[in-house]
Structure 1
Amino acid sequence: MAALGTLLLLGLLLTAPPALGQRPGRRRRPPPPQSPLEAVGAQEGLSLPQLAGRWVLVGMASRCGYLAEHSHRLEATAVMVTVPDGQSLAISTFRKLDGTCWEIRQRYRPAGSLGRFVLKGRGYGSKVDVVVGETDPGTYAILYYQKGRSITVKLYGRSSRVSDAVVDKFEQSVRAVGLSEDVTYYFPTYGFCDSADEFHILDETQP
């Protein structure tokens, strides 16, 4: 179970008018602060089928304490994307844990507008909002993930090595949501696995 918990952790957002009859002089509650993802625009003209295929996780920015403590143990991570219904993304993430390859299955379901999704699963406790922020589908994709008030930015590439210009875009995106290079990590470029046996598949597609 500890292994499953580790995988779940890594496989890692108008104020109404006052009511009639409100007593004069009574202060209204201030509106809640803007969700970080509300300021993030999704890629214009996004074509979901173009996202299909194999990606690798190049970099990630997050304030996750577990990630900071275990950053020296990061494993090469590959992702297979399909678009089963034209609206959602089916994600299979492959990574090693203690030398064994695991597959984590997830479904990013549409959330109102193109490029915005919601991820739900038994291991998350609450939903995770996802935005495809910027992508050249043949080269790279920058995705944002938010659970509660915590935000993570991930850089995916069609190969494990991307250009300096793409890395610059990623780091600019990281700074734009209040993260920094101190919580930015880059993943190994070797040691990938692309399959797992039936005993090492974690299916998070069902709430």
Structure 2
Amino acid sequence: MVAPGTLLLLGPLLAALPGLGQGQGQGQGRQRRPPPTQSPLEKVAAQEELSLPQLAGKWFLVGMASHCSYLAEHSHQLEATAVTVTVLDGQSLAISTFRKLDGMCWEIRQRYLPAQAHGRFLLKGRGYGSKVDVVVGETDHSSYAILYYQKGRSISVKLYGRTIRVSDAVVDKFEQRVSAVGLSEDMTYYFPTYGFCDSADEFHILDETKP
């Protein structure tokens, strides 16, 4: 992949070369730039009638589909994961994720900031290049929610439930959504339904909302 800085330098260089960026003769017009490539998440529709207040509360991570090689290598070590959603200022979401690591309960705090359209959010983590785009693809607010996450060109899909198990019909919807974005069954993982954490002490809180 070409570095962004290299692309910025190539633009003026190509424009200065004869025959590039301008016509060589009277009958030749300026060459058109190819249309920008659509990111995978732009093809995903957000939930039309999304109610953030109804999205608030506790959720359980039921399943996840991803190209992530780390997830594939450590799928046998998946831990039960619970999430608490709080609505801030009517449009942002405060997310607290509770899970075990080395037998200890941890809380990871994140904030989903509103993006360009309803149902789309931006998650900013610490460090360069840690921006993640988030889309609430489908939810009935009361039993399940399917969310998409994209970092760079890599996309993942998560299924959350209000209870530790969801219906077979919801699982079918999730797997259809997974297939629609080019992920397969062997990239889909389901999480344990026991061993959840409800809280973490002050020494086991990772707060990614702070600069």
TM-score scaled by length of structure 2: 0.85
1:126 equivalent to 2:130? Answer yes
Larger radius of gyration: 2
Root-mean-square deviation (Å): 1.6
Equivalent position SS for 2:137: strand
Say yes or no: does 1:167 pair with 2:148.
no
Q: Which residue of 2 aligns with 1:34?
A: 38
Structure 1 unaligned segments of length 5 or more: list them: 1-18
Instruction: Please give the alpha-carbon distance, in whole angstroms, between the structure 2 residues aligned to 1:185 and 1:173.
Output: 14
> Which of the numbers 153, 156, 166 marks the counterpart of 1:152?
156
Separation in structure 2 between the aligned mates of residue 179 and residue 25 of structure 1, nearest angstrom:
42
Task: Tell me whether 1:57 sits opposite 2:56 in the alignment.
Answer: no
Instruction: State yes or no: 1:22 paired with 2:22.
Output: yes
Residue pair 1:116, 1:129 contacting (<8 A) in 2 also? yes
- Contact 2:112–2:123, Cα closer than 8 Å, also in 1: yes
Pick closer, same or farther for the CA change 1:33–1:206 going to 2, 3 Å: same
Q: Please give the alpha-carbon distance, in whole angstroms, between the structure 1 residues aligned to 2:120 and 2:109.
A: 19
Q: Report what 1:79 is aligned to.
A: 83
1:199 alignment partner, one of 179, 184, 203: 203
Contact in 1 for aligned 2:22/2:31 (Cα 8 Å)? no
Does the aligned pair in 2 maintain the 1:123–1:204 contact within 8 Å?
Answer: no
> 1 CA distance for matches of 2:201 and 2:176?
39
The structural deviation recorded for 1:51 is 0.6
* Superimposed CA distance per residue, residues 97-128 of structure 1 (whole angstroms, 9 cap, x where no aligned partner): 01000000000000011100000010573310
Distance of 1:46 and 1:62 partners within structure 2:
24
- Among the aligned pairs, what percent are the same residue? 84
- Matched AA of 1:96: K
Provide the secondary structure at the position in 2 that maps to 1:67.
helix
Q: In structure 2, what is the Cα distance between the partners aligned to 1:124 and 1:161?
A: 36
2:114 pairs with 110, 114, 118, which one?
A: 110
- Distance in 2 between the 1:22 and 1:125 partners? 35
Instruction: Flag as ranges the 4+ runs of structure 1 deviating above 6 A.
Output: none
Instruction: Give unmatched runs, 5+ long, in structure 2.
Output: 1-14, 16-20
Amino acid in structure 2 at the alignment position of 1:101: C
Report the AA paired with residue 120 of structure 1: K
Task: Say yes or no: does 1:95 pair with 2:99.
Answer: yes
Q: Take 1:102 and 1:124, find their aligned partners in 2: how far apart are those partners?
A: 24
> Where does residue 186 of structure 2 map in the other structure?
182
Separation (CA, whole Å) in 2 of partners of 1:186 and 1:50: 25
Counterpart CA distance in 2 for 1:91 and 1:160 is 18
| SS of equivalent residue, structure 2 residue 82 | strand
Shift in alpha-carbon separation, 1:147–1:64, aligned structure 2, 3 A: same
What amino acid maps onto 1:148 in structure 2?
A: G
- Aligned AA for 1:22? Q
Match in the other structure for 1:4: none
